[in-house]
Amino acid sequence: MPKMVFVETDGTRREVDAPLGLSILEVARRHDIDLEGACEGSLACSTCHVIVDPQWYDLLPDASEDEEDMLDLAFGLTKTSRLGCQIRITEELDGLVVRLPGGNQG
């Protein structure tokens, strides 16, 4: 099973199982990681904002225009920011590293 790493706001790294086909938001919820996702993944908010490690960013599919619009509302936006509800785990993403931005915590 693929794995992924969440880097929490205090710098703690948590490596977790990341089942194929689940979104980053769904993986976070399975492992009690504090990633809000207020709209339940319907692309209507930016509370599942994550910062993708630069070495992984180019492996992701491009963000949709709707995702980019929601990202504009995210706290602590960076060049590698994405919404966790929009990235699905694939074999290619085994080992993916994402950081939780400080203003994202619920």
CB-based contacts of 41, cutoff 8 Å, min separation 6: 23, 25, 26, 48, 85
pLDDT tens series, the chain, 106 aa: 999 999 999 999 999 999 999 999 999 999 999 999 999 999 999 999 999 999 999 999 999 999 999 999 998 999 999 999 999 999 999 999 999 998 544 3
pTM for the model stands at: 0.93
CA distances from 70 to 65, 84, 89, 105 (A): 9, 12, 21, 17
